[in-house]
Amino acid sequence: MSYKIRNKEDYAASYKKSIENNSDFWEDIAQNFTWFKPWNTVMECDMKEASFKWFDGAQTNITYNCIDRHLEQKGNQTAIIFEPNLPTDKALQISYNQLHENVCKMSNVLIQMGIKKGDRVAIYLPMIPELAYCVLACARIGAIHSVIFAGFSSGALSARINDASCKMVITSDGSYRGNKTIDLKGIVDEALKDCPCVQNVLVVERTNTEIKMIKNRDHYLTPLIEAASSVHEAQAFDSEDPLFILYTSGSTGKPKGMLHTTGGYMIYTAYTFNNVFAYEEKDVYWCTADIGWITGHSYIVYGPLLNGATTLMFEGVPSYPNAGRFWEIVDKFQVNQFYTAPTAIRALAKESIDYVNKYELSSLKIIGTVGEPINEEAWQWYHKNIGKEKCPIVDTWWQTETGGILISPLPHISPQIPTFATNPLPGIQPVLMDQSGNESSENNVVGKLCIKRAWPSIARTIWGDHQRYKETYFTAFPGYYFTGDGAKRDSSGMYRITGRVDDVIIVSGHNLGTAPIEDAINEHEYVAESAIVGFPHDVKGNALYGYVTLKQDIENKELLKKEINQLISEKIGPIAKLDRIQFTPGLPKTRSGKIMRRILRKIAEGDFASFGDISTLLNPEVVEEIKNGKI
């Protein structure tokens, strides 16, 4: 690959070129891939209309670039290492040749089941190799994959399936997480009661548990794969043909199905993977995310495979059978790059250091974090105990919407400043907006983080709702992409992301919108209304605090709290459960009826001193009552 940034001078030159000659810069990067037809234009981007086209007119197949083109040189090299939930179960090393065979077979199964270009396929699977095969098979035949994290409840699953009118669901009988077995197929059955669009369900056998199979709808995958041909030629698709939909929480309303397309996403994830992780041939790379999130899409599947790397998939959890599990895996496979979330680091830092010191970790070269701001203490623990003070930490800032990493240190090139994502990658122009909505030109400022110019992997739209896409990201600051995050730029121009500035709360690295959780709570027959805010939590980063107003006083409040969390689990998933619930006589509201979350946030944090101006409240007395109720 000729897009490697090797030193400070390379970075400076690439960055300069990307600003002065943006189109040539990306065109040079795109030359590293196999295209079946060249492009007419490199980019046609309109930030006002939120319309983006990259490499228009070109044709390619992303899986040809992920798999086929490596076969000649790397056919026998491991593409995917699969480490199962149980350490005593056998790991798999899947070569590029085997990956090719599996993906071709899976593609033929999908075709045989009537899946065509543009059809949506929902994938609800644990972290097993079939998940990667299904994602790649969809891409190979031009079907749009919609991977839904297998921790979501049946309600969340059916909402996502229906939003994209998925024709097929691929799931497994069950899944393993630590010492638990989860009845995935049962959750799918429940969800599909409300999904008339789904014609077929493919079932991977993982736990071999007894499940209900519905005739003509449900099919075990194994016999279909056994009967399928392993010959499948990758078809040519347009650069702007949809690749996948992935849902992310919005601050209001239903989840947003972010749509990513083919060519731009391909070159951006490959380029950033290669440089942010300073990937070298034969390295073993491990990202602990789930493929149900964007991090897994871009940096377990596409980015690494596009570079012909070896990528590790882990089925289990960091705490099972004990808190040494991650470090055991690092030593077992001699992992060179390790990429995880601050919440996992904080949880493991709480455990005895013996769990770490039992292992050498000497193979590690680069360690990374993603998903939420990392606090100084966690950064230092990671640096000292895992990186042994020699591995650069890449604190990578990006979003489902951005498709790939936008701001991150480059190993051995950027300075290491704890809690700072530091530099924009080439092609990325971050700006901070001041209180009056103008770009701050100074350093040493805080503001709302926007990006000035489009990059190849920017989401193209929200599935079925382009207006919402425009309004959410492109209207607050016309001409810019608004991230929803706040940031600081220090005196040397380095960026530190401070967190969300909207009603999205990041709990254990998962983005949660407050509105859907409130909707779930409000469905309880005794609940009049509710408001959710985040409060600091030493492992999860943030935890959820719910203020709930009842229609009438209820005696058994503890039971009610349980029922509320049960409802949330059913409607959204256990990740959205509340840590604290306070019953309140009312919620503080402005005269226009808007809940003043700022005050509720302060009370949840235990900060009763600085409520600011509450004179605009319709019901200021309620603030006092909530405060007293908390104490």
In angstroms, the CA 309 to CA 275 distance is: 13
- Of the candidate residues 79, 421, 454, 512, the single one contacting ligand WTA (CB under 6 A): 421
In angstroms, the CA 149 to CA 157 distance is: 9
User: Would you say 380 and 518 are in contact if contact means Cβ atoms under 8 Å apart?
Assistant: no
Decide: is 279 part of the binding site for ligand WTA (CB under 6 A). Answer: no
Kindly give, in sequence order, each residue whose CB lies less than 8 Å from that of residue 533, ignoring residues fewer than 6 positions away. 505, 514, 544, 545, 547, 597, 600, 601, 604
Residue 96 or 152 having the CB closest to ligand WTA: 152
- Give least dist CB 395 to ligand WTA, A: 5
Decide: is 370 part of the binding site for ligand WTA (CB under 6 A). Answer: yes
- Of the candidate residues 68, 83, 283, 372, the single one contacting ligand WTA (CB under 6 A): 372
Q: Which of 143, 147, 141, 145 is nearest to 119 (CA)?
A: 143
- Give least dist CB 76 to ligand WTA, A: 33
- Give least dist CB 485 to ligand WTA, A: 5
- Region binding ligand WTA by CB under 6 A among candidate stretches 152-160, 314-322, 383-391, 395-403: 395-403
- Using left for φ > 0, alpha for ψ between -120 and 50, and beta otherwise, residue 74 falls in alpha
Q: Tell me how many residues contact ligand WTA (CB under 6 A).
A: 22
Task: Tell me which residues in 284-323 interact with ligand WTA (CB under 6 A).
Answer: 293-295
Extended beta strands in 205-250, E state: 218-220, 237-238, 242-248
Residue 157 or 407 having the CB closest to ligand WTA: 407
- Region binding ligand WTA by CB under 6 A among candidate stretches 27-35, 370-378, 559-567, 596-604: 370-378
- Of the candidate residues 506, 599, 603, 626, the single one contacting ligand WTA (CB under 6 A): 506
- Of the candidate residues 308, 371, 447, 513, the single one contacting ligand WTA (CB under 6 A): 371
User: Would you say 623 and 617 are in contact if contact means Cβ atoms under 8 Å apart?
Assistant: yes
Residue 176 or 477 having the CB closest to ligand WTA: 477
Decide: is 239 part of the binding site for ligand WTA (CB under 6 A). Answer: no
- Give least dist CB 407 to ligand WTA, A: 8
Amino acid letter, 510? H
Decide: is 250 part of the binding site for ligand WTA (CB under 6 A). Answer: no
User: Would you say 113 and 200 are in contact if contact means Cβ atoms under 8 Å apart?
Assistant: yes
- Give least dist CB 472 to ligand WTA, A: 12
- Give least dist CB 486 to ligand WTA, A: 9
In angstroms, the CA 457 to CA 26 distance is: 11
Strand partners, 41: 56
- Region binding ligand WTA by CB under 6 A among candidate stretches 23-31, 35-43, 350-358, 365-373: 365-373
First to last CA, the chain: 61
- Kindly state the helix (H) or strand (E) to which residue 543 belongs, with its residue range: strand 541-550
Residue 347 or 393 having the CB closest to ligand WTA: 393
Q: Which of 346, 474, 395 is nearest to 46 (CA)?
A: 474
Q: Which residue is nearest to ligand WTA (CB)?
A: 400
User: Would you say 219 and 187 are in contact if contact means Cβ atoms under 8 Å apart?
Assistant: no
- Give least dist CB 530 to ligand WTA, A: 24
Decide: is 398 part of the binding site for ligand WTA (CB under 6 A). Answer: yes
Decide: is 349 part of the binding site for ligand WTA (CB under 6 A). Answer: no
- Using left for φ > 0, alpha for ψ between -120 and 50, and beta otherwise, residue 348 falls in alpha
User: Would you say 386 and 364 are in contact if contact means Cβ atoms under 8 Å apart?
Assistant: yes
Show the tokens assigned to 181: 């077995």
Task: Tell me which residues in 443-502 interact with ligand WTA (CB under 6 A).
Answer: 483-485, 497, 500
Residue numbers at the binding site for ligand WTA (CB under 6 A): 248, 293-295, 370-373, 395-400, 421, 483-485, 497, 500, 506, 511
